[in-house]
A = this chain, B = another copy of it.
Amino acid sequence: MVINDKTTLKNILRGVDGTIGFVPTMGALHDGHISLIKKARAENDIVVVSIFVNPTQFLEGEDFDKYPNKTEADIKICQLCEVDYLFMPDITTMYDKDEVLVKAPKIKGFILEGSKRAGHFDGMLQIVLKLLNLVKPTNSYFGKKDAQQLSLINQMVKNFYLDTNIVECDIVREKDGLAYSSRNVYLTKEQRKDALYISKSLNIAANLIAKGELDSNTIQNSIKNTLEKAKQLDIEYIQIVDRSLNILNKVKLKNTIILIAVKVGSTRLIDNIWI
């Protein structure tokens, strides 16, 4: 059932007896989202998906106005995945003027993606807090692809004592290795070929680590070498951190994320691998 009104959603969900699984999205649903929804469906009595292209997490000059919109296909996907409630609020109903704000942590909100997209995480955390408080989910599903987002949401849940279990979901990739992203549609054929070097470089890094290489510099260099084989791909960062986003000089097994951000033409792509 599609619900546009937040009060209606809240009233329905407050009456629910059983567990609620929640998948917040910005729509343009792909197999990555579908894997989250399926996991939520398997693990909860009620599944809520939200689609809201949140303006406050886009910066000046970013793709807010042209962000892919696939409402009809999204609704169909949610039906097929047996979503109970699809929340699609109107943009004007989610924000008031001069609101109380959420701000990303001063350090961890401004490294990595935060250093390239100042303020992005403020807006992201603000809408996630709103949605979590509206839905009050037992379990909330987020993808590992947005690793820093996931880490900051985990931190917000801890700092604000929110009562939801954050479920960290594996990255889903196309057959050729490209991580699913709503922004992949922006890529030309040529750019897509270049983009494949991202997952390739991460796999090579993982193999290096499997063979015993733990030095971050060495691994970063290997990734850089692979990415430089692409025709037109600007590296924004290659970073090796632990699950709490602390930079690591040496890989810690089971507590490492290797993060890559690149620009392919005007499209920013991020990817990562959890070691």
Contacts and interface: CB of A to CB of B under 8 A. Distances in A.
A230 to B, nearest CB: 35
Nearest to A129: B160
A98 B106 contact: yes
Contacts of A99: 105, 155, 159
A102 B103 contact: yes
B155 A100 contact: yes
A166 interface: no
Number of copies: 2
Contacts of A133: 160-163
A171 interface: no
Interface size class of A (residues with CB under 8 A): 20 to 34
Contact of A100 (B98, B125, B130): B125
Given A130-B160, A162-B133, A103 B103 contact: yes
Interface string A86-99: 00000000001011
A173 interface: no
Interface of A: 6, 10, 96, 98-109, 125, 129-130, 133-134, 136, 152, 155-156, 158-163
